[in-house]
Amino acid sequence: MKFTDGYWHVRDGVHPLYPVEAHDITADGDSLTVYAPTAHIGHRGDTLNRPMLTVRAESPMPDVIGITVSHFTGLTQRGPRFELATADAPVTVSTEEATLTSGSLSVRFHERWRMEFLADGEVLTASERKAMAAIGTDDGAHYIREQLRLGVGTTVYGLGERFGPLVKNGQSVDIWNADGGTSSEQAYKNVPFYVTSGGYGVFVDHPGLVSFEVGSEAVSRVQFSAQGHELRYFVIYGPTPKEILRKYTALTGRPALPPAWSFGLWLTTSFTTSYDEDTVMGFVDGMAERDLPLSVFHFDTFWMREFHWCDFEWDPRTFPDPAGMLKRLKERGLRVSLWINPYIAQRSALFAEGAARGYLVRTPGGDVWQIDRWQAGMGLVDFTNPDACAWYAGKLRALLEMGVDCFKSDFGERIPTEVVWHDGSDPERMHNYYTHLYNRTVFELLREHRGVGEAVLFARSATAGGQQYPVHWGGDCESTFESMAESLRGGLSLAMSGFGFWSHDIGGFEGRPDPAVFKRWIPFGLLSSHSRLHGNHSYRVPWEFDQEAVDVLRAFTKLKARLMPYLFGAAVTAHREGVPVMRPMVAEFADDPACAYLDRQYMLGDRLLVAPVMSASGRVSYYVPAGRWTHLLTGEVVEGPRWVTETCGFDTVPVLVRPGTVLPLGARDDRPDYDYHDGVTLQLYELAEGEVRIDVPSLDGAVATSFVVVRQGDAIRVHRSGAAAPWRVEVAGRAVGVPDDVDEAELSVA
């Protein structure tokens, strides 16, 4: 939200109060409080009729400092609130120097108002004159606004899954979940957190509407504001983007580790297509006959009867024997996913049941809130009511007991603000937060029923903290190259918002993709953390397009299966450290200025560079950082830093291996879940003198086998520890040693 009229004036009807000086400073344990009047206090009379802002600094964990800006502090604080973690932080507070220090990060207040954030003595950012403000308007609204200085050349990332430019400088962003597709400024996953190239990130601890002006209202500042008389935010010191993400996810929650089977290919019925069990089994048989490995089959909305969403009952006209069908799918080695959402249609028997028990959200007048948009007369489950959560979960539990493995938890964005919540939550603050309660309810049921490590969602909406309940997908995109690009931008933006896992609809959702679009999207989809074939009005089985699409899908599905020792290792890192599996180039190469704006390529883990081809001709341009990189699929070596332009057939895509890599490839290409260490091949790429360690994970995320590879001249020594199994070594695609089941091997690359 913009409050000013150019640099000199405020807008009509806007009345800001700015802190002018740090008049009084007190310490309370590990916190520092600054009382800042809105005018210089020269004598006692100046204290009369004079507003004052109260600014409190504290630290929940090392290198993280929270700032709470308050105008009035006696107002009732209604929920919801983000659930934040704390860790022991060695905090130093000095009232004499007006500083609070946590780890390497400090905040320092100046008598003539200026608040600086410093790391190791260097200023990262600051709240300067007329930056912080309590603002009233003529219509009776009140806001807290902050502006933090944006250094020269500093770029800003994150703020959720946003489909515009990856770099947010110059943009206005409202943190407000909306079902807006992937082609507008609206977003399904809004996160009030951004990462900068300046060594710090900022998390605004407000679950409702937060407006960001990123170098757009004041071009040398990042502004954020929210309605109310108090606002808290955290400055998080990195200094690298990956370190910022590690600390942010330590604060807001790390992603759970999805099961290994979920990394395989998901095939769906699509949305409004006509399907029954014969259709489903025809797809499954067709995949098997064409040697296309399939891991999960997903039933979209019309597994239930029309107008009944959601009653969680199979449509008996098309699925007369759901338990038998699920058994038959399980016998084919498949997992099963079902579409759900949090809306209860009036036609559903659950509507009357939920309304009678008080499980549906109500209006201030006491009526059940209803709307005809999406489903006729639908209501909304009130997940602030523990009994409603148990009721909803109970309906899903019956499906799990029938044989379902996971759920696509769709929607969660269309949340009204003219309602009353069971726990008294503020409707504006609940709008974004609702999806967190919704997905948490479903995820915790899956974890309870399936066990830790087996729970996985396919969720569309989220906010801060939602990364704990993976996986999320990009939403409703068009079937075009342009939409393929915007989907990637959204995924990379979400990665810079703390989300470790992400997917998208291969080929696009809306419309029937041209075969070229479909075939180019396949490598992008299979070289994402999770991979799904899904559409709206048309099927997405590859033989609906052409034989080449079948061949391309086979090649990249099998490639992903072989990459699973590496990919699942990256997943374990995302789970333990909060560093996403897919990430923009700037997250991995923060010191390379050429990477700052790159949003048509990405790093898959820390060793593979992927540049999706987004043209029918196959022409693609991408940037290669410094060093000798190797094309995984062709073996060609590219010396960076440089830009490369090439033309790719449908059967290939630029996947470059970073120099100094030991890449573990699995022995199987028919499924994603297997013993990764058994028959593993270690591919060595441009190893320098010295030592490289690689851990091969087991399916529970523990280390199954570790390899230490030491190069000395042309000699390579490999030491293995952990589980015993055959293994081999390749250099540049050439086997240089096929050891027996041994723990030590001496090899030569001469």
Strand-pair partners of 645: 621
536/531 Cα distance (integer angstroms): 17
Given a contact cutoff of 8 angstroms between Cβ atoms, the answer to whether 456 and 259 are in contact is: yes
- Is-cis flag, bond preceding 471, omega within 30? yes
DSSP state of 71: S
Q: Indicate if 413 belongs to the active site.
A: yes
Among 405, 413, 478, 695, which one carries the catalytic annotation? 413
Among 63, 146, 313, 476, which one carries the catalytic annotation? 476
List Cβ neighbours of 685 (8 Å cut-off, separation of 6 or more).
630, 657, 658, 659, 660, 661, 662, 663, 732
List Cβ neighbours of 158 (8 Å cut-off, separation of 6 or more).
168, 191, 193, 194, 195, 201, 493, 496, 497
Specify the amino acid at residue 227.
Q
List Cβ neighbours of 603 (8 Å cut-off, separation of 6 or more).
582, 583, 584, 585, 587, 588, 609, 610
Which DSSP helix (H) or strand (E) runs through 525? Answer: helix 515-526
Given a contact cutoff of 8 angstroms between Cβ atoms, the answer to whether 446 and 150 are in contact is: no
557/498 Cα distance (integer angstroms): 27
Among 217, 300, 311, 410, which one carries the catalytic annotation? 410
Q: Are strands 379-380 and 343-344 parallel, antiparallel or unpaired?
A: antiparallel
Q: Indicate if 476 belongs to the active site.
A: yes
Q: What is the DSSP string of 576-643?
A: HH---SEE-HHHH-TT-GGGTT--S-EEETTTEEE----STT-EEEEEEEEEEEEETTT--EEEEEEE
Q: What is the DSSP string of 435-487?
A: HHHHHHHHHHHHHHHH-TT---B-B--B-TTGGGS--EE----BSSHHHHHHH
Coil, helix or strand for 498?
coil
Q: How far apart, in Å, are the Cα atoms of 42 and each of 23, 45, 557?
A: 11, 8, 73
What would the two tokens of residue 687 be? 């190893």
Residues with catalytic function: 410, 413, 476
